[in-house]
Amino acid sequence: MSGKRVLIIGGTGYVGQHLLEGLSNTAFEKGIDLAFTHHSNLPPEPLIKAIHSHCLAFPVDLRNGDGFDAISLSFGQPDVVVNLAALSVPRACEMDPVTAMCVNVPSALIEWLLTFDDDSTLLIHFSTDHVYEGVKSFYKEEDETAPVNVYGRSKAESEHFISANWANFAILRSSIIYGPQTAAPVRKSLPVQWLDSLLAKGRQVEFCRDEFRCPIYINDVVTIIQTLTCRWMSGCNEMQLVLNVGGPDRLSRLQMAETVAAVRGYKSSLLKPISASLIDRGVKSPADISMDISKLIQMLGFSPMKFEEGVRLTFRNETNTSS
């Protein structure tokens, strides 16, 4: 694998930071060059310290492609690109659909990749479970995509665009990703920590009993990306994959909160079940976008951990980090 290059688009985000740490642990040993992009702010110092190997950072604007030429000059054509950059808050996408489409459909990224002489780069692109309509349980990758909000539509469009314009890709339809905080804390609220902060107040909180997801632990997400990267670098010469990336549990938001409460020792009486139909988020939310992950398990040879175990690891790791 010596001389291979991996570029992470959106390396300062939640998944990006965890992935950079995971890859940097082995990149130097294997002779892999790492680089990542960031949008506005400079890479935070805690992240730079957490990356063990030398890693180039490039400012890039995905809306118009500014910054990609510098990557060509200083880094060259990557063997693997992991595209994590996105406008991923459904309400924000609903309020600004033009920006959502511009950022989430990676036209500038593909345009840049097409400037190289060959199409030997694998593009690992993060999509979402929101591409499914949400009217049944355990969607399979072959099921029709029928998103009910702008976020889902922008991600469905990104999938169509990539498959039509790039030869080798792995599209990962991710559910809720949870786990410990990053080296440089991200601003957005993290799912498990958010639930913990609500319950810690000791007041009754409403949670939806009829909205289902398959949350996945961050380390499992990193493992999936690393496995696909290693497979490509080990001589795979063709890849066109769409994979559901979720955990093994189909859970309502109420059940997620119940798990956090049990792990943290909060009273179950703090949780009040309600219907999602009574909540106005300013954006339509699919009811049941739980996913069948049998293809993921079969193709990559591992099973993501159960939610309760991931919740325990989240708090254990955060305690170790802060101590």
Domain range for 300: 5-182+215-247+289-305
pLDDT at position 229 is: 95
- Beta carbons within 10 angstroms of residue 141's beta carbon: 17
Say if 262 falls within a structural domain.
no
pLDDT tens string, the chain, 323 residues long: the values are 668 999 999 999 999 999 999 998 777 677 889 999 998 767 888 888 888 667 899 999 999 999 999 999 999 999 999 999 999 999 999 999 999 999 999 999 999 999 998 989 999 999 999 999 999 999 999 999 999 999 999 999 999 999 999 999 999 999 999 999 999 999 889 999 999 999 999 999 999 999 999 999 999 999 999 999 999 999 888 999 999 999 999 999 999 999 999 999 999 999 999 999 888 888 999 999 999 999 999 999 999 999 999 999 999 987 655 54
Q: What span, in angstroms and rounded, lies between the C-alpha atoms of 313 and 174?
A: 20
Say if 30 falls within a structural domain.
yes
Q: With contact defined as beta carbons under 8 Å apart, do 253 and 289 qualify?
A: no
Q: What span, in angstroms and rounded, lies between the C-alpha atoms of 44 and 275?
A: 40
- Beta carbons within 10 angstroms of residue 297's beta carbon: 13
pLDDT at position 319 is: 60
**HSE-CB of 226 using CA atoms within 13 angstroms:** 22
pLDDT at position 323 is: 46
Q: Is 76 left (phi over 0), alpha (psi -120 to 50) or beta?
A: left
H/E segment holding residue 307: helix 307-322
Say if 58 falls within a structural domain.
yes
Q: What span, in angstroms and rounded, lies between the C-alpha atoms of 175 and 132?
A: 11
Say if 311 falls within a structural domain.
no
Q: What span, in angstroms and rounded, lies between the C-alpha atoms of 49 and 305?
A: 29
Q: What span, in angstroms and rounded, lies between the C-alpha atoms of 24 and 52?
A: 6
pLDDT at position 320 is: 57
pLDDT at position 298 is: 97
Q: What span, in angstroms and rounded, lies between the C-alpha atoms of 128 and 289?
A: 10
DSSP labels, 169-214? EEEEEE--EE-SPPSS--SSPPHHHHHHHHHHTTS-EEEESS-EE-
Say if 81 falls within a structural domain.
yes
Of 1, 15, 13, nearest to 220 (Cα)? 15
Say if 266 falls within a structural domain.
no
Query: Which CATH number goes with the domain that contains 68?
Result: 3.40.50.720
- Under 8 Å CB-to-CB from 237, ≥6 apart: which residues? none
Say if 199 falls within a structural domain.
no
Name the 3-class secondary structure at 3.
coil
Going from the C-alpha of 50 to that of each of 14, 24, 286, 313, the distances in angstroms are 14, 9, 37, 20
Number of domains in the chain: 1
Dihedral over Cα of 49, 51, 54, 60: its sign: negative
Say if 253 falls within a structural domain.
no
